[in-house]
Homo-oligomer: A and B are copies of this chain.
Amino acid sequence: MKRKREIFIGNVGIGGSHRVSIQSMCAVDTCDVNAVIAQIHALAEAGCEIVRLAVPDEDALAPLKEIIRVSPLPVVADIHFNPELALGAIAAGSHGIRINPGNIGNRERVKEILIAANDKNIPIRIGVNSGSLEKKYRNIPGYVAEKMVASVMDKVKFFEDNDFFNIKISLKSSDVIQTVRAYRLIDQECDYPLHLGVTEAGTFFSGAIKSAVGIGSLLLDGIGSTIRVSLTDNPVEEIRVAKEILKVTGIRPEGIELISCPTCSRTSVDLVKIVNEAEARLSTIKTGKKIVVAVMGCEVNGPGEAKTADVGLAFSKESGYIFKKGRMVGKVKPEESIDKLLEQIRDLL
By a CB distance below 8 angstroms, the chain B residues around A258 are 202-203, 206
CA distance A213 to B202 in the complex (A): 17
Stretch in A187-195, A225-233, A328-336 with 4+ CB within 8 Å of B: A225-233
CA distance A202 to B300 in the complex (A): 16
Instruction: Output the nearest chain B residue to A215 by Cβ-Cβ distance.
Output: B213
**A265 engages B28 (CB within 8 Å):** yes
**B213 engages A260 (CB within 8 Å):** no
**B60 engages A262 (CB within 8 Å):** no
**A276 engages B203 (CB within 8 Å):** yes
By a CB distance below 8 angstroms, the chain B residues around A26 are 264-265
By a CB distance below 8 angstroms, the chain B residues around A294 are 174, 200
CA distance A257 to B260 in the complex (A): 31
By a CB distance below 8 angstroms, the chain B residues around A267 are 27
CA distance A130 to B234 in the complex (A): 37
**B208 engages A259 (CB within 8 Å):** no
Tell me whether A263 is interfacial, beta carbon within 8 Å. yes
**A305 engages B245 (CB within 8 Å):** no
Tell me whether A275 is interfacial, beta carbon within 8 Å. yes
Tell me whether A25 is interfacial, beta carbon within 8 Å. yes
A278-317 CB mask vs B (1 if < 8 Å, else 0) is: 0100000000000000101010111111001000000000
Q: B25, B131, B232, B233: which contacts A304 (Cβ < 8 A)? A: B131
A27 to chain B, nearest CB (A): 4
CA distance A213 to B30 in the complex (A): 34
By a CB distance below 8 angstroms, the chain B residues around A263 are 27, 232
**A264 engages B54 (CB within 8 Å):** yes
Tell me whether A103 is interfacial, beta carbon within 8 Å. yes
Q: List 24 A-B contacts (CB under 8 A).
A: A27-B263, A28-B265, A54-B264, A54-B265, A54-B266, A60-B265, A80-B300, A81-B300, A130-B305, A130-B308, A174-B294, A176-B248, A176-B249, A180-B220, A200-B261, A200-B305, A201-B262, A202-B259, A203-B279, A205-B208, A208-B208, A216-B217, A233-B272, A234-B272
Could you list 19 further interchain pairs (A-B, Cβ under 8 angstroms) beyond the known A130-B305, A176-B250?
A26-B264, A27-B265, A56-B265, A56-B298, A100-B300, A129-B304, A130-B301, A200-B260, A202-B259, A202-B275, A203-B275, A206-B258, A209-B216, A213-B213, A213-B217, A213-B245, A231-B262, A232-B262, A232-B275
